[in-house]
Amino acid sequence: MGDELKPTFNFSKVSRQWSKSFATSVQNATRAQITLQRPAPVGDSTALQAHLDAQEKALDVIAQISDEQAGLIAQVLTDVPPEWLIDGAPEAIDWSKIESFDWIQEEYYGEILNLIQSGEARTLAKK
């Protein structure tokens, strides 16, 4: 992917609290993923049930965090390359609305997350 195929961001309307909220969401997602990766206990049905309950809760946390992160991204994303959109996407898209992300191809939405997590999104921000 060439440099010309990058989304643009605007961080001028968010504060330090935005960064803190995004970092917290990443930490919580990591904790939930670790819970999902833990091996199931063997031989103790009570421990096994507790393990399964913890995994179910972790899945709920990941779903909630996905929505939280989309809301945070909507505050800073200003545009994506047309090549990143799925077929049939409208020409004019309001990126401040979370539903607009449904027009982005899945792999590129992941790229947007990576750009924000790595800090590279700030270098792509409109000045």
Token pair of 9, please? 């961001």
CA distance 106 to 17: 27
pLDDT in tens, 63-111: 999 999 999 999 999 999 999 999 999 999 999 999 999 999 999 999 9
Q: Is residue 78 part of a domain?
A: yes
In a domain, 35, yes or no: yes
- Looking at residue 62, what is its pLDDT? 95
Task: Tell me, yes or no, whether 52 lies in a domain.
Answer: yes
Question: Is 2's pLDDT higher than 50?
Answer: no
Please return the burial class of 113, using the count of CB atoms within 10 Å of its CB with bins 0-12, 13-18 and 19+: middle
In this predicted structure, what is the pLDDT of residue 125? 85
Structural domain for 36, as ranges:
10-123
37 within some domain: yes
* pLDDT recorded at residue 74: 97
Q: Does a structural domain hold residue 62?
A: yes
In a domain, 4, yes or no: no
Q: How many domains does one find in the chain?
A: 1
β-strands 77-79, 8-9: how paired?
antiparallel
Backbone angles phi, psi at 70, to 5 degrees: -60, -40
Q: Of 127, 75, 90, 85, nearest to 109 (Cα)?
A: 85
